[in-house]
Structure 1
Amino acid sequence: MSCKRGLSRLFLVLVAIGLAAAVSRDPTGATEMKIVDPTFSVHQGHAIGGYDTVAYFTDYAAVHGDEAHAVDLDGVRFLFANAENRTQFLHDPKRYLPQFGGYSTFALSKGKLYGADPTVFDIIDGRLYLSRNERVQELWHRNPKGYISQAEENWSELSGR
């Protein structure tokens, strides 16, 4: 059983690396990366672990999406809680995509590429940022604009862009 678990983890890592390599290469920043936290995306098969990316903005909450309102965008499946959120996303997808591919912005600001928990988030200047966990979010809240700036500097190198 331990060997199977090890192989499963290795598979997830390899898939995550492959997914990260397949993301869009927009030199302007983080809004184009479609793969959102590979551990959630690969494990559950959906971007942001199946959470509705529009609901972060409209409800300021992490709301599970529904397959009935799914959208495939550039090979990534996004779920939405309702048809209205799906329509909003289709009208302007870039507006709703998590920054830095959904990786932890705080970790990225420190030069590390760590996954994030889609239930721990902030919206700053109309952009969605995810945190690894609540403790990391507390640290992030000390200087979010500074951490965003540092993360932007590190993004190109760490994301392979």
Structure 2
Amino acid sequence: MDLIASIREDAADAWLPAVYRERVRTQRTRSFDLDVPERENLAEILHTLLGIELKVGRRRFACPDLSTARYLLIFASLGCRRFAVPYDITKISAAADDLWSAWQRSLLLLGSRTSQMTDRSQKLYRARLVKAIRAEVKEIGPGEPMPSFDRETRQRKRP
């Protein structure tokens, strides 16, 4: 069995694309485009005088709050360019926590399986893991640019 497939199987519901599909895409979301290279990136959150920024390589992206920056950091680290962001800002923090836990679990499972391998092999399998996760997130898709507002908000009935 392939190493990445065994990690996917062992992670089960904690596999990052499964968390994205079941806990993010089932909500009302909007698509988000992030101009980052499609590879594993070193991303970091900066607290500046102008607010919170996400730094990926030499590029900086302004973020409205820390929870959004944490959410974007996960996808920027994986090299995902298009993905869904929960429209309800109160749900972003929980989604970021779930996705981060899934990512760390995948890395732990990979580390336990590749601990006896050479550094080069470990890096190769990590790159394959990132590529597999990125491909599945891309397959799930970012959804609509804006959510549909098909709910009735009028509280009074027309006479």
Q: TM-score of the superposition, structure 1-length normalised?
A: 0.27
Q: TM-score of the superposition, structure 2-length normalised?
A: 0.27
Structure label with greater radius of gyration: 2
Query: Relative contact order, CA 8 A, sep 6+: which one is greater?
Result: 2
